[in-house]
Structure 1
Amino acid sequence: MAAKRRQMQSSDASNGKSSANKGNSRPKFIPKNKSKDDEYSKKNANTVLYKIFLVAMAILIGFTHRNHIANMFERDRHFSHLSTLERELAFRTEMGLYYSYYKTMIESPTFIDGLYQIMNDNITEYPLTINTLKRFNLYPEVALAIGYRAYEGINAALKRPTKMCWRVNRGEGLSPVQSCEGLGEPSYFYVEHVFILNGIMMSMFFLFGTYLSGSMFGGILTVASFFFNHGEATRVQWTPPLRESFAYPFIVGQMFLVTHLLRTPIPTFRHSLPIAIATILFMLPWQFAQFALLTEMIAVFATYVLGYIGSRKMKVFLLGIGGGFVISYILLFGNKMLLTSFFFSGLLTITGIVLIEPVLETLRIRPLIWISQGAMLGVGTVGFKFVIAKLFNIEDDAHIGDIFRSKFSDFKNFHTMLYTCAAEFDFMEAETPGRILKTMLAPAVLVVLVTVTYFLLKSEYTSWLNTSDEPEQILNTDIPNRSKPNAEIVYHLFQLIAFTLMAVIIMRLKLFWTPHLCLMTSLLASRQIFGWLGNREKHYAILTVLLACMSYQGIANLQHQWSILGEFSNMPLEELVEWTKANTPKNAVFAGPMPTMATVKLCTGRPIVNHPHYEDAGLRERTKKVYTMYSRKPLSEIKKNLQALQADYAILEDSWCVRRSRQGCSMAEIWDIEDEENRGETTPACTKLKESPGPYFKTVFKNNVYQVLKVLK
């Protein structure tokens, strides 16, 4: 005991204390504790300040992107100086169709009246009455109509003007027009909110890149890459009303939430709620959302199969997207395309595989489990889709399978050729890889992929070495809650592979691929993965050099976009619209090329029999009948088809008769695939109609582009 006391005394002495001073030791510890508290408070304060700084940066970046796309849109069309009619004419094809429903809701006596009109519409596919909110994913227009009516109502009550108007002289013998600017102008209110939403999207990309890499530099790389490759990443600046403009920002937020879920050690089912909300917001505006969600689900499932996440985390994810699907299905009034989608079939299949995990784990041999899970996924997804489609006799999405079939075989029909002859539905153009190569995006992502793959394989090998001598440790692992580091990175690798395949097959879908490439560049700033480059200062110096190299071509790309100057004018179409409003009854029914039909509906309110939204089996057949005008069939048969659709007038567009994007893609050649009976006829029907439409039709209007034919009874 004495020795122990001597040892304690010696220990106290070595710390500058003596047993005699023991009574005074208490006050001396107070400053030390206070110092620790101060240090902790300072650390928390720094964390809070850092987060505030990140949010401020995100807001600034979002505001910059909003201005960027809004200014490009203005320079391309000189939108601020167009009349109301010209602005509507500028929304061609599907854009005009979607905008027409927004116009209906804001011009109706009450919002409820407008909502009823679009839910009981007999103008779009005359004489049928359809629920366009169900068919065309019009929730963005509903939300904007509510916002516009509220904005106008509040400002009217406050007696504040919401727009400023002036007279614009167009010159060249054209009549002057009134042009209005401000949020009180319906088209301004519409496009402005599209640009704001896509500004918020860029803010999310900055935060996403920062979160994924663990460094603000990662967010900067993501945003810089997006701006430098802007023409390959989005087309919102040219086509604001398209569904992707409303939907894509929400899939960015949804993937952000999924990344957070995969990084969370032990998530609860409360994590499912925000994923469900983001899924709903993504699905409601866009009928093609199901394909992106399918790839995401498969990517997360692959992460689960490889053991990076357990069944509990997988169930939280499935509950989120499954709940989002169910609510979207209800809000879209039981949209048939959702029910027969591969996404729904895959959701059912993967849920079943996860639920029978204990049975599969009895196989014990991991490759055998993988083979079983893969086989079940393929067979189950295709099987469920086939059964559901046959059970409910749904063929609305049959053309999607035909399109993919035509991509990899010599199969083709009228409908697949209409798609594949359009550049946006063709394979990725050869110039795209070269463009992202020049901005250093492709090399940067290649470095990321190689390094991340090596990093993950090394981690797996190290883990295998640590457990190879103790196999029983693996068997005793808590399988439902199993977790490996970097699960979110594995998910993004699979997601990138899926988006790459989508972009290669259908060029339009590079809007998913290029932004994800930009996001992957953020991993270059990850100290965990690229710490081997040296200390933090050296690492970030290398990234600064990379950013400078990217900016060489990137700034040139931006300058090219900024140099685009134009002024919208389409006098032939304006003449057609003005003639239609002045010379035809309000109940006159029109048929013609899909893009023009959208304009006729939007600008004149006349009933139409076909339109650009091609995702319905019945509509595809109606359009096929209308397009006999561009076949080699006899004029008597064309008249018979138009009368069957109850069309009073047919619009013949000269470009559809003569254009040919490539060999085999003129309208007459497309018809030759199926119309064997008339294949030998040398003169297409449209040429005959232009020269001598009688006795079945009568020309009632004609300019250098359009010809209106009255169907003689």
Structure 2
Amino acid sequence: MLLRLADYMPGSVVSRRDGDKRIKKAVIVAITSSIIFTIFLILRYKMVLRRSYEEQKLTLFSESAFYYSFYEDIINSPTIYDGIYRLLKDNRSEYPDVINALSRFNIFQELLLGIIYRLLYGDSGIANHWSYKPLSPFNFYYYVVHILMGLGIGILCGFCTYTTNSYLAGFSSLGFLFANFQERLLMRLSSIPLRENFGLPFVWGTICVWSYILDRNIYERNYNGRKSWILMWFCSVLLIQTWQFSVFILSTQLASTFATYILGYPIYNLLIRLIICHLLSLFTGIALQFGSYYLLMSPLLQVGLAILASVLVPMVIRRRFGSIPHNFIGSESFSAKWSFVKLIVAIFVFTGIRLAIIPFAVHDSHVFDILKSIFSNNQHTFDSIIYRMGGSEFSWVTIQQLKMIHRSGLFYIFFASLLTIIITIFSDIYKIYLLQKYFVEASKMNQVEILALSSDPDKITSISISNTSEVPMKSSGTDKSDVNTIVDSIPSPSSILSDWKSCDDIDENVENESEEEREDEVLLKNIEPIKQVELGRDKKTELNISKDLNFVLNSCLAYNLFQVCCFCFLGMIISRLRVLALPYMSVIAGFLASKQYIEYFCSIIGNFGNIYSNIPKNIKYIETVTNTQEDSKDKFQYGQQYKSLFKKFILLLSTTFILSYSWKRWPIEELRAILHSEDNATSSKSRLVSWLNTNIPSNSSIASDMTIGASIRLMTNFNIVLHPQYEDPKIRKRTQFMYWLTGCAPIKDIYDILWEEYKTNYIVTQIYRCSSPSNAPHIINAFDVASYLDNSEYRCKGNIVPFQRGCWRIQLDNYQKYFKMIYRNSDYTVFERRNEADPFVLMSRRSNILTPPHLFPYKRKLLDWEESWKPWIKSYCQANDNYCAMNIVDYARNILDIYGIKEVTDLLYKNAIELYPENPYVLHHYAEYMDFDLGKSPQEVIIYYMKALELSRPNHDLKILMDVVLFIDQSFGRSKSLEKILKLILEDNSIKSLVSLDISEIDSYLLRNKMIDVSRNKSFQEFVYSVCMVASFLKALIISSELEIYQTSHNIWQAIVTCNVLWDLSLSLDPNNRCVLQYWELFNNKKRSTMDDIYYFLFG
């Protein structure tokens, strides 16, 4: 009876029936995990769904906004055909060039989702016949992405379950995934349209399918499942279409498989097929992207060809100069020397191809610049340093991120699991070496007749080797009884390493005999006759041990070790790629929650010392052909010890500990952080977009930096010159052009290039592209990037302050009046290029005075109201900006916060007060400036506060109300001001309206009274915060001054009712608002519990 070694081998299956059972387990875990994680993701970011559609689009930033804009193009086009045509002939993304967006960018998902949305919710859509309200385009997109990410997590957990044959392992992986879901650590779903959010499910799909193929190959040599390879090709194509980084990921998969192969694992044919499959996927992707040059020059093709050459070239050489011996697994024999040769060949071929195409492979050249700069700060170029600006996620993983992972507990279990895999691989390598060594010895035996089973058990094949003198055996005429004796005496493949057999099966022989016999029949049918091969020039026989022996060589685990190491390395050097490393690490950590995996590893440790002695015994056994049935019983004595209650208890304790440990670190803080931290729906961006749509001629083009350019493309119909997709060399050149302003380039050069090359008259700049954060001097900023401009003449030399750079001189330098500032708010400035015939341009060209940057008198210019500020405010701001007053004071505040120049701030504030004496926003800002920055007396400050409050009440500004109340309470004393405070709160019309409202009417009330307006700094979260603050202040007032309230003219019950109603309102609108979390204990007399967090996360 054949031994069932595979029962204790994770990733190994003896029969198709056992494989089906594991697949069913994996599917159950995958579906369950997907549902759990998808629900969690949707609830985690659910507050975004409450925003208006325009506000939702404002939350998108940089790449996210850019990719989503193509989805908008499909939805807003008159027809689907017209939308596709817009993408094929896109003149809005790289104006004035017309490009094929489907070829340049990975936006097939936007195309597909846009078409599906139109089919569902378009004018003739299916959903028009449904009774419920249709989803907005953003909400539909939102749900699809979260479902895809949940599916990816499900694939990972199912993969862990299949590999270890354990439910506990799969759910432990899910626990570790949750434990690392914090502050964008595991995935960046706060930026929904990022390419990795679409590509990651297919990354896990390719890894899962490839591991399955390797697993099947363990018991079914050169597994050629057509469905599996088709699925592999399909996942690879979808990955290539959805994520531009996919070619690097697939390259690591080829490299990891190649590393497994050169260690001696018998996967030669599978490696060849994998290379062919990935190259077919690559060429399919090239065809789908209309001949993408980026994909053609990508490393995937180079790595594939290099590995293919390294595998085939040594084989050709060995065939040319001598026959290739075959080993005990029926494949090319393992040789450390030739494995080293293959590795060297692969490296040389890859390097040669790379060097040959360097002049042509310009699309990914910046990637290698980034890699060089990561390992050496002296290797920076403009392309590399811009990726690392602002503490970018293209730098090394940070200490803070490592601490977060450490808190999750993942490191301990992951490294323990990784160690077990490494030991397993060393065991495999040792066995490969020993079996190969004794195979050579056995092949030199004298005159042995070896009998093997063919597909017909009754048929005997006899193979003769020269000299039969030493072993008495008939060369012919062997009768049936002798044959049976000989066959029984020949050690089975399993008996060579019989100590791996656990006695769990032995004790169940009686109960499972019939089942095992059926499985034995399956195995016997797979045993092939021993083949003759050429060894050197003399024909000798190959000692072909059955495929059954390969159960102890787990190429699936070896591959996963190399793959996770690749991802961990990438995650270390490029922080953003932790989205690859952390999920995979969670899967590897989950292995230790499997009883079968732990048993398998323990059997390796227990039997490792017996391998060497068993193999020569079995080789000698072939010579003597003696009966070893009694000896085989002794070989299982070690395994018998595992059949004990203590062993089962330890295994149960270990696996349940891993499971509970993984879920113990559930990130409770994530249940409270409902609104993501990357809230980019700022008032400055909203005002800019509104002003551009109103004041810039339609079909105009705008030059800007990458981030705001993406938002302009999404929120307006204007053409943009620059976008965030940095791979194309043309875009890198345009990015450098925009950084001329950050450097010290002459304004005249910018003026000329802007029209000659880009045919545009407008530039939008950000204040953060002309400043450096004083609180983080070690972080790479825009000035550092500008110091690496290719044109060294445009770099700033010496100690140049921001106001002496191009971004300020374009406004302040009277000798270079090539542009006029037509719009400004706290963050963004719009400059218009003057006409060639403009007197200022003619004067600037005629004088051609270029003051050196370090001599530019910026202080005098900044304080010159008539020359530097009045033209903008009088000619443009007051004339065409609906938020002019707000923009002036916001900008004044930023000047103080960013540059620390109080004189300029004071100048702008005072002129704003003169120009807008009745504007509540201006008065409130100025009151805060007097209070916090100038230190004026409370009597002076309260005048502006009270005036701002009186003017704001028609607009229901609760923030101003609370600021006034808190100022009075702190500056004049609660006891003296109690009457006034209660009057301000309880008699406020907006407070009365909110108290009388039913919760179902709140949304229409907010909309009707314009209490939610991002352009006026009135977001939904800020509204809830203000309501909560009023309720909390009243509660504190009631607790501390209950007796004093009785002595006022106000009814204490009115205060109590108002307090409780406002608290309930804020709790129902946003139970995780920062004010609600802060004052929870004040209203409930206890700290907020975990059960409270879970309840409001699910039902709040």
Length-normalised TM-score, structure 2: 0.56
**Code of the aligned partner of 2:215:** R
Aligned to 2:810: 689
Identify which of 422, 427, 435 aligns with 1:458.
Answer: 427
- Tell whether the 8 Å contact from 2:152 to 2:201 is kept in structure 1 after alignment: yes
Alpha-carbon distance in 2 for matches of 1:301, 1:162? 56
Given the superposition, is the C-alpha separation of residues 419 and 47 from structure 1 closer, same or farther in structure 2, using an over 3 Å criterion?
closer
- Work out whether 1:447 is the aligned partner of 2:568: no
Partner SS for 1:92: coil
Alpha-carbon distance in 2 for matches of 1:463, 1:384? 33
Instruction: Return the offset for 1:360.
Output: 5.5
Instruction: State how 1:327-476 maps to structure 2 within 5 Å.
Output: 327-356=284-313, 358-359=315-316, 366-390=335-359, 393-409=360-376, 410-422=378-390, 423-462=392-431, 464-465=433-434, 468-471=437-440, 476=542
Identify which of 167, 172, 175 aligns with 1:221.
Answer: 172
Unpaired segments of 5 or more residues in structure 2?
1-14, 325-332, 444-534, 536-541, 603-641, 836-1100
- Work out whether 1:505 is the aligned partner of 2:617: no
Q: Which moved more, 1:453-462 or 1:400-409?
A: 453-462
Instruction: State how 1:198-237 maps to structure 2 within 5 Å.
Output: 198-231=149-182, 234-237=186-189
Given the superposition, is the C-alpha separation of residues 477 and 515 from structure 1 closer, same or farther in structure 2, using an over 3 Å criterion?
farther
**Code of the aligned partner of 1:268:** N
Partner SS for 1:284: helix
**Code of the aligned partner of 2:211:** T
- Work out whether 1:297 is the aligned partner of 2:269: no
> How many percent identity over aligned positions?
25
Alpha-carbon distance in 1 for matches of 2:128, 2:151? 31
Alpha-carbon displacement from aligned partner over 1:419-456 (angstroms, at most 9, x marks no partner):
12242001111123322222221111111122222233
- Work out whether 1:65 is the aligned partner of 2:31: no
Partner SS for 2:426: helix
Q: Which moved more, 1:695-704 or 1:550-559?
A: 550-559
Aligned to 2:827: 705
Alpha-carbon distance in 2 for matches of 1:522, 1:63? 19
Alpha-carbon distance in 2 for matches of 1:241, 1:707? 27
Identify which of 93, 97, 102 aligns with 1:124.
Answer: 93
Aligned to 1:657: 770
Alpha-carbon distance in 1 for matches of 2:792, 2:27? 63
Given the superposition, is the C-alpha separation of residues 307 and 561 from structure 1 closer, same or farther in structure 2, using an over 3 Å criterion?
farther
Given the superposition, is the C-alpha separation of residues 367 and 284 from structure 1 closer, same or farther in structure 2, using an over 3 Å criterion?
same
Identify which of 171, 176, 190 aligns with 1:238.
Answer: 190
Alpha-carbon distance in 2 for matches of 1:53, 1:365? 36
Instruction: Return the offset for 1:530.
Output: 1.3
Aligned to 1:589: 701
Identify which of 770, 781, 785 aligns with 1:670.
Answer: 785
Alpha-carbon distance in 1 for matches of 2:126, 2:44? 34
Given the superposition, is the C-alpha separation of residues 132 and 630 from structure 1 closer, same or farther in structure 2, using an over 3 Å criterion?
same
Instruction: State how 1:561-580 maps to structure 2 within 5 Å.
Output: 561=673, 569-580=681-692
Alpha-carbon distance in 1 for matches of 2:105, 2:809? 35
Alpha-carbon displacement from aligned partner over 1:345-395 (angstroms, at most 9, x marks no partner):
0111112233345336558882221221111111111222332344xx341
Instruction: State how 1:59-208 maps to structure 2 within 5 Å.
Output: 59-74=31-46, 78-153=47-122, 156=125, 159-160=128-129, 164=133, 182-183=134-135, 185-208=136-159
Alpha-carbon distance in 1 for matches of 2:334, 2:196? 44
Alpha-carbon displacement from aligned partner over 1:536-579 (angstroms, at most 9, x marks no partner):
45313222223333434334454465586897641111111111
Instruction: Return the offset for 1:702.
Output: 1.2
- Tell whether the 8 Å contact from 2:823 to 2:829 is kept in structure 1 after alignment: yes
Alpha-carbon distance in 2 for matches of 1:457, 1:53? 30
Partner SS for 1:424: coil
- Tell whether the 8 Å contact from 2:571 to 2:578 is kept in structure 1 after alignment: yes
Identify which of 556, 563, 574 aligns with 1:488.
Answer: 556
- Tell whether the 8 Å contact from 1:444 to 1:521 is kept in structure 2 after alignment: yes
Instruction: Return the offset for 1:322.
Output: 1.8
**Code of the aligned partner of 1:623:** T
Instruction: Return the offset for 1:418.
Output: 0.5
Partner SS for 1:651: strand
Q: Which moved more, 1:512-521 or 1:650-659?
A: 650-659
Identify which of 197, 205, 212 aligns with 1:260.
Answer: 212
Length-normalised TM-score, structure 1: 0.85
Alpha-carbon distance in 2 for matches of 1:629, 1:193? 40
Alpha-carbon displacement from aligned partner over 1:210-236 (angstroms, at most 9, x marks no partner):
011121111111111111112365334
Higher relative contact order (CA 8 A, sep 6+): 1
Aligned to 1:33: none
Alpha-carbon displacement from aligned partner over 1:182-219 (angstroms, at most 9, x marks no partner):
42x11111111001111111221121010111211111
Given the superposition, is the C-alpha separation of residues 50 and 372 from structure 1 closer, same or farther in structure 2, using an over 3 Å criterion?
closer
Alpha-carbon distance in 2 for matches of 1:46, 1:135? 46
Q: Which moved more, 1:358-367 or 1:393-402?
A: 358-367
Alpha-carbon distance in 2 for matches of 1:82, 1:456? 53
- Tell whether the 8 Å contact from 2:173 to 2:662 is kept in structure 1 after alignment: no
**Code of the aligned partner of 1:188:** N
RMSD of aligned alpha carbons: 2.9
Partner SS for 1:547: helix
Alpha-carbon distance in 1 for matches of 2:20, 2:306? 44
Aligned to 1:55: 27
- Tell whether the 8 Å contact from 1:62 to 1:200 is kept in structure 2 after alignment: yes
**Code of the aligned partner of 2:771:** V
Given the superposition, is the C-alpha separation of residues 153 and 573 from structure 1 closer, same or farther in structure 2, using an over 3 Å criterion?
closer
Q: Which moved more, 1:449-458 or 1:90-99?
A: 449-458
Alpha-carbon distance in 2 for matches of 1:464, 1:416? 45
Instruction: Return the offset for 1:504.
Output: 1.3
Alpha-carbon displacement from aligned partner over 1:384-411 (angstroms, at most 9, x marks no partner):
2332344xx3412111111112222312
Given the superposition, is the C-alpha separation of residues 639 and 281 from structure 1 closer, same or farther in structure 2, using an over 3 Å criterion?
same
Partner SS for 1:709: strand
- Tell whether the 8 Å contact from 2:149 to 2:197 is kept in structure 1 after alignment: yes
Alpha-carbon displacement from aligned partner over 1:242-266 (angstroms, at most 9, x marks no partner):
0000001001011000001111123
Instruction: Return the offset for 1:473.
Output: 5.6
- Work out whether 1:679 is the aligned partner of 2:797: yes
Alpha-carbon distance in 2 for matches of 1:602, 1:473? 73
Alpha-carbon displacement from aligned partner over 1:33-91 (angstroms, at most 9, x marks no partner):
xxxxxxxxxx99999898666534432321221121122222xxx32232222111111
Alpha-carbon distance in 1 for matches of 2:21, 2:779? 62
Partner SS for 1:665: coil
**Code of the aligned partner of 2:828:** Y
Alpha-carbon distance in 2 for matches of 1:275, 1:708? 50
Q: Which moved more, 1:481-490 or 1:567-576?
A: 481-490
- Work out whether 1:314 is the aligned partner of 2:282: no
Partner SS for 1:237: coil
Q: Which moved more, 1:535-544 or 1:335-344?
A: 535-544
Partner SS for 2:393: helix
Instruction: Return the offset for 1:628.
Output: 1.1
- Tell whether the 8 Å contact from 1:455 to 1:529 is kept in structure 2 after alignment: no
- Work out whether 1:624 is the aligned partner of 2:736: yes
Alpha-carbon distance in 1 for matches of 2:334, 2:16? 48
